[in-house]
Amino acid sequence: MMGSVLFTKGHGTGNDFVILGDPDGALELTPQLVAALCDRRRGIGADGVLRVVRSAKHPDAAGYAAEAEWFMDYWNADGSIAEICGNGVRVFVRYLLTNDLATAGPEGLPVATRAGVVRALVGSGTINVHMTTPRVYAASTATVGSLTLPGVAVDCGNPHLVCGLPQGVPLRSLELFHPPGIDAGTFPEGANVEFVTPLEPVEDADLHVAMRVYERGSAETQSCGSGALAVGAVALRDAGRSAGVVSVQVPGGQLTVTHTAAGEWWLAGPAVLVATGEIDVAALN
């Protein structure tokens, strides 16, 4: 029976996480414990849990140990396991650097995820992550209240459905209190659903959009990094661009998606650690 557990709280554009340092994979993490930690009234409160464990010490990441020392074991707020989290990777890297568990060289810091190994470059105030190449692959729909919205399925290592809003429907008008209705045939394991509207151009970006997201296993969140990547991929495709920069405005801030001429996809944004502490596991219920 666990007693107390040390934790750090962090966020990337308002997408917040409980971070558990567990280098040797000794913590008995369960769906029930994750859900209790993420409870915003009875626990610490978060959109998910990031467990920091050495790749060699976790069965899901042992195959990546030669490429990346550290594995981001990411769990959604409801206790389900997710493949990757773009905002989570940046916060994970910030934790490693702050706690002197790794250093970021000129080639970046590799991090193992269930979607593969990603690489992070650390800048002044932001972290830029070389992400899995998004794959835009099918048309589908999402139902929100009385609206049925056409969308595009995107695989970013995890499943997404990107839906553009019709002209005259404000992004703020969507009622995202419940999961959007999506096609189980296209998304047998569910999906993060992004709702998008274009914005006026901004400096240093080819395209500028606003996004809200309902995250699988968490509900509406302030931001979703892999969701921004999916949105950026669809925006560039629809604009007929083979490369470019997309500024994605989310409720919690701003993210930048870049598709380079060499075919690489990058996600940049802030990553902040706000608190450390100790929680009594027995008190969680």
| Residue 156 bears catalytic tag | no
Which pair of tokens denotes residue 127?
Answer: 């972290």
pTM for this predicted structure: 0.95
Mean pLDDT along residues 173-182: 96
pLDDT of residue 285: 72
* Active-site residue, from 38, 85, 156, 163: 85
pLDDT of residue 39: 97
Which pair of tokens denotes residue 190?
Answer: 């569910």
Same fold, 4-131+271-283 and 135-262: yes
**Domain ranges within the chain, ordered by starting residue:** 4-131+271-283, 135-262
Percent of the chain with pLDDT over 90: 95
Q: What is the CATH number of domain 4-131+271-283?
A: 3.10.310.10
Q: Please name the helix (run of DSSP H) or strand (run of DSSP E) that holds residue 85, with its range, or none.
A: none
Q: How far apart are CA 40 and CA 116, in angstroms?
A: 30
pLDDT of residue 3: 84
pLDDT bucket at 107, cuts 50 / 70 / 90: confident
3-state DSSP assignment of residue 31: helix
Q: Exposure of 26 by Cβ count < 10 A (0-12 exposed, 13-18 middle, 19+ buried)?
A: exposed
E runs forming strands in 173-235: 181-182, 192-198, 207-215, 219-221
E runs forming strands in 13-158: 15-21, 48-54, 70-76, 109-113, 116-122, 127-131, 135-144, 147-155
Strands 159-164 and 207-215 turn out to be unpaired
pLDDT bucket at 123, cuts 50 / 70 / 90: confident
Strands 4-12 and 15-21 turn out to be antiparallel
| Residue 38 bears catalytic tag | no
Q: Exposure of 100 by Cβ count < 10 A (0-12 exposed, 13-18 middle, 19+ buried)?
A: exposed
Name the CATH superfamily, with its identifier, for domain 135-262: Diaminopimelate Epimerase; Chain A, domain 1 (3.10.310.10)
Residue 8 vs residue 284, higher pLDDT: 8
Mean pLDDT along residues 130-138: 96
For 12-49, how does the pLDDT look when each residue is reduced to its tens digit (9 = 90+)?
A: 999 999 999 999 999 999 999 999 999 999 999 999 99
